[in-house]
Structure 1
Amino acid sequence: MRLSTLAGLLLAATLSAVGACAQAGELVVIVSAHNPVTTLRADQVADIFLGESMRFPDGAEVQALDQALNTPLRNEFYQKVASRTPALMKAYWTKRIFTGRGQPPRELSSSMAVRKAVAENPGAIGYVERAAVDASVRVVMVVN
């Protein structure tokens, strides 16, 4: 086999594996299957998780649930949805707490814990890997 053919096959296999890993780790925003909300925009999700909005678009109260501090999933979520690094998020919440303008979302230990809490509370919203989604929750946004 020629070296160029072997290199081409190796590149194709690598790209395929990278694509499969990216899809398996896809980040999604979820609500309870009993929540009437079917879709949310990134700005709406950001407002909820930054404490700027305490309600879903239909007016129902919302409770945001976060992943554990300093986890890759949480860092990716805030970077992609709110365009903020962990350091910026820490500064943001320090200021909001100090000025009495809010408290950060409650933290849970894993995607499974977030999914379970969201499934049990129609007013909750969280984010998990797509692999953690089951029929008890509904995906309302794919994080890109």
Structure 2
Amino acid sequence: MRVIAVCLLLCVCLPVKAIESTVIINNGVEKRQFSRTDIRNIFSARTQYWSDGAKITVYVLDAQTEAHKDFCREMLKMFPYQLERMWNQITYSGQGERPQTVATEAELIEAVKNTPGAIGYAYHTSALENVREVAIP
């Protein structure tokens, strides 16, 4: 009985891993393969154009949402404040633009679907229509 109680206590106390995010792109984007470095460079605004010269439009959720924090930590391997600093540096130096922030995941998916060259992330992949999931090795 004591062993069961200890096991239950451990299960309750252990952190739960967040649902894994999926990077999504507009169907018109030609590129098929992305490395984690490619994704990090795109979301940090270091890479602003696709290989065909088309402008990349990045969509993200608000920085205060758990989904955005998880995406930064799990996919980009950085903290949200680090990403924010990169965006500020690029924006204030005139070298680029900040990503477009949307309120909900549904809005993000819709924006990626309707914007040529767009990229974003999603957690509920069953809701994805007319956008492509990116395979990242």
TM score, norm. by length of structure 2: 0.76
Task: Give the match for residue 107 of structure 1.
Answer: 101
Task: Give the match for residue 69 of structure 1.
Answer: 63
What is the root-mean-square deviation in Å for CA atoms of aligned residues?
A: 3.1
Aligned partner of 1:85 among 73, 76, 79: 79
> Does structure 1 conserve the Cα–Cα contact (< 8 Å) formed by 2:21 and 2:75?
no
Secondary structure at 1:138 match in 2: strand
Off by >4 Å, runs of 4+ in structure 1 = 6-11
CA distance in 1, matches of 2:122, 2:110: 11
Rg: which structure is higher? 1
CA change 1:103–1:122 in 2 (3 A) is closer
Q: Number of paired residues?
A: 135
1:78 offset after TM fit, Å?
2.0
Task: Give the match for residue 32 of structure 2.
Answer: 38
Which stretches in structure 1 are left out of the alignment for 5+ residues? none
CA distance in 1, matches of 2:135, 2:65: 20
Stretch deviating more after TM superposition (45-54 or 80-89): 80-89
1:83 offset after TM fit, Å?
2.9
CA distance in 1, matches of 2:80, 2:6: 39
Percent identical: 22
Task: Give the match for residue 50 of structure 1.
Answer: 44
CA distance in 1, matches of 2:81, 2:33: 29
> Does structure 1 conserve the Cα–Cα contact (< 8 Å) formed by 2:58 and 2:100?
yes
Which stretches in structure 2 are left out of the alignment for 5+ residues? none
